[in-house]
Amino acid sequence: MRIARMAEAPVLLVGDIDRGGVFAALVGTLALLEEDERAYVKGLIINKFRGDIKLLQPGLEMLAQRAQKPVLGVIPYRREIQQIAQEDSVYLDERPSQEAHDLDAAVIRLPHLSNYDDFDPLESDCLVRYVARPEELGKPHLIILPGTKSTIGDLNYLKQSGLADAIIKLAQAGTPVAGICGGYQMLGKIIRDPSGAESAEGEAAGLGLLDVTTIFATEKSTRQVTARVTANCGLFCESRGQEVTGYEIHMGQTGSAESVLHIVATPEGTADYGDGALNTAGTIFGTYLHGLFHNDTFRMSFLACLRRFWNLPEKAMAASPSKDLQYDKLAETVRGSLDMAAVYRILGKGIENIV
């Protein structure tokens, strides 16, 4: 609501019926808003409905009367839509069980984990486990340190929980490790935060698995990028020269003598800088590039090299469903479920419809 006030924008309040109690949640939310905030809310929407909408109609009429707001539509639950990230990592507690795979990838479930959907594409060919304690780690074929909203804080968690020692021990024994963004920073020797951009700690020792140092800056880098793979050993034995796309969103800068990727383009035009780092064996790497595994050709090459590393039999792998196509399906569902004429009227009137 703070953003709505700042932008003077009308609001549609959406309730998740899949969790139950949606009428109480919507009416209760309106009751808890300040009077001026309530004025911004121009309509209600029910999301993730299963069943016959005719049975819900009396409830919708009661809701509109109680809330004194129109119900603009009911969006059905569509399980077949894939590759669209849930709101946040709370979803990891309720994600459906995976089919069995002979390739085991353990993603460290950091307290401030972000961008967990980076690893969704791996689930078609790997058992992707989210691990929060050392005893859950086991002996995976790949350990992944994901992005985080608090690199130093989550690095301290790894050390205090015993996960840091467990990861280092497995890595030293040969288990491949990948770090994305904050996870990449953790893999290095040291993280420095001279301006207190992220933490009151000015400096923290990393896991020491990559020969890099990270220095936090006061400004965050946020950009979409196109890159080419420059590494050609270990997990990248089949990837050199491949073009990949993704995005950067990070505070720090990490120097490396030999990069994994070379950034060739951003929305501003051509680019020319390296990204990431790799150990000499090619089994431990880090990168700032989110969305790396969403690149089908790269992902399949990477997993083929990982399977070869562990002497697992070759396996045919399929491309992921088109994310754009999945969003188109969702957009079609939403458009067909809402009173779009009413939505456009609300948008057209804007702030005049609020005050």
Residue 297 lies inside a defined structural domain of this protein = yes
My answer on whether 170 and 110 are in the same domain is yes
User: Looking at per-residue confidence, does 166 or 115 come out higher?
Assistant: 166
Residue 71 lies inside a defined structural domain of this protein = yes
Predicted confidence (pLDDT) per residue in 10-45, tens digit: 999 999 998 889 999 999 999 999 999 999 999 999
CATH of the domain at 280: 3.40.50.880
CB of 82 closer than 8 Å to CB of 321? yes
Q: What's the mean pLDDT when you consider all of the chain?
A: 91
My answer on whether 201 and 286 are in the same domain is yes
My answer on whether 232 and 279 are in the same domain is yes
pLDDT for the residue 122:
94
My answer on whether 143 and 287 are in the same domain is yes
d(CA 26, CA 259): 50
My answer on whether 120 and 246 are in the same domain is yes
Residue 351, pLDDT above cutoff 90: no
Residue 111 lies inside a defined structural domain of this protein = yes
3-state secondary structure 131-184: ECCHHHHCCCCEEEECEECCHHHHHHHHHHHCHHHHHHHHHHCCCCEEEECHHH
Q: 334: which residues sit within 8 A by CB, 6+ positions away? A: 75
My answer on whether 122 and 247 are in the same domain is yes
- Percentage of the residues of the chain whose pLDDT score is greater than 90: 75
pLDDT for the residue 253:
87
CB of 158 closer than 8 Å to CB of 164? yes
CATH of the domain at 25: 3.40.50.300
Query: Which amino acid does the sequence have at 25?
Result: A
User: Looking at per-residue confidence, does 354 or 11 come out higher?
Assistant: 11
Active site residue: 126, 181, 250, 305, which one?
Answer: 181
Predicted confidence (pLDDT) per residue in 109-151, tens digit: 999 999 988 999 999 999 999 999 999 999 999 999 999 999 9
My answer on whether 54 and 146 are in the same domain is no
Residue 272, pLDDT above cutoff 80: yes
Residue 210 lies inside a defined structural domain of this protein = yes
Residue 320 lies inside a defined structural domain of this protein = no
Q: 268: which residues sit within 8 A by CB, 6+ positions away? A: 223
Residue 319 lies inside a defined structural domain of this protein = no
Provide the whole-model pTM: 0.82
pLDDT tier at 74 (50, 70, 90 boundaries)? very high
d(CA 210, CA 278): 7
My answer on whether 284 and 344 are in the same domain is no
d(CA 150, CA 153): 5
Residue 91 lies inside a defined structural domain of this protein = no
Predicted confidence (pLDDT) per residue in 206-263, tens digit: 999 999 999 998 788 899 999 999 999 999 999 999 999 999 998 888 877 789 999 9
My answer on whether 209 and 291 are in the same domain is yes
My answer on whether 143 and 243 are in the same domain is yes
Residue 30 lies inside a defined structural domain of this protein = yes
My answer on whether 277 and 144 are in the same domain is yes
d(CA 57, CA 156): 52
Known catalytic membership, residue 237: no
Give 254: exposed, middle or buried? Use CB within 10 Å, 0-12, 13-18, 19+.
buried
| Number of domains observed in the structure of the chain | 2
Domain limits for position 75: 2-79+327-353
Residue 354, pLDDT above cutoff 50: no
Known catalytic membership, residue 181: yes
My answer on whether 166 and 298 are in the same domain is yes
Active site residue: 126, 141, 250, 290, which one?
Answer: 290
